[in-house]
Amino acid sequence: MADTDALRARFARALEGARGPGDGPDPAPYAENLLARWQEPQRRYHTLTHLAAVLDHVDALERYADDPDAVRLAAWFHDAVYLPDRSENEERSARLAERALPEAGVPAEKTAEVARLVRLTVTHDPADDDRDGQVLCDADLAVLASPPSAYAAYTAAVREEYHFVPTDAFREGRAAVLRRLLGLPRLFRTPYGREHWEATARYNLRGELDMLSAPAVPPAAG
């Protein structure tokens, strides 16, 4: 379970880094709103645990970012609106950032950068010169390079979030996502991600795709 007190402190540091200390209202209400969103009952994978993991990965990759605090705020907002049966979650999350951050004292240019980064998580395909985008996307996809048991827990949680989708339709949709990811020239764009995560992530994705593509085994009779 993620430490909510630690997360509140991390949000305050990122917000103050983006706007300047004392240059706006108390960060606490904004942190509480986001924490509540990340704890909504429909979530199984996109939870506080995922948020904390992405923030940890951003910290590990921050030397590659031009504006680490903007990337951290984008991590907070990137799945702040999340309904598994809706396709516009990233856009709605970006719009939430565009509403909340100016009110919280973040300058317009930095708010626009956070919203741009949130929208980038639709494709996870940042440009070669987009250092902030590369860090956020690598941090968000780092789960793909998890050890076997953690990767199995991740895929199980994703399936639980889509419990309303029939098995055959889920297998088809998930396989399409995996093929799109495997079709990218590189999953990870930062030097660290390429060195430490790329090979393991591709191994995991290929293994999951093989399982999804295998014929379903009918239940035993009797």
Q: Return the pLDDT at 46.
A: 97
Look up the domain containing 8 and give its range.
Answer: 4-213
Give 13-64 pLDDT, tens digit per residue: 999 999 987 789 999 999 999 999 999 999 999 999 999 999 999 999 999 9
Do the domain assignments include residue 53?
yes
Tokens of 9: 């402190």
What residues of the chain score a pLDDT lower than 70?
Answer: 1, 216-222
Do the domain assignments include residue 222?
no
Q: What is this structure's pTM?
A: 0.93
Do the domain assignments include residue 221?
no
Do the domain assignments include residue 220?
no
- Quick one: angle between helices 131-141 and 108-120, nearest 10? 40
Structural domains in the chain (count): 1
Residue 126's alpha-carbon distances to 71, 129, 161, in angstroms, are: 13, 8, 26
| Own/partner pairs, 34-42, CB within 8 angstroms, 24+ separation | 34/76, 34/77, 34/80, 35/4, 35/7, 35/8, 37/80, 37/81, 37/82, 38/79, 38/80, 40/82, 42/82, 42/83, 42/84, 42/161
Q: Return the pLDDT at 216.
A: 62
Do the domain assignments include residue 45?
yes
Do the domain assignments include residue 26?
yes
CATH of the domain at 178: 1.10.1300.10
Q: Return the pLDDT at 83.
A: 95
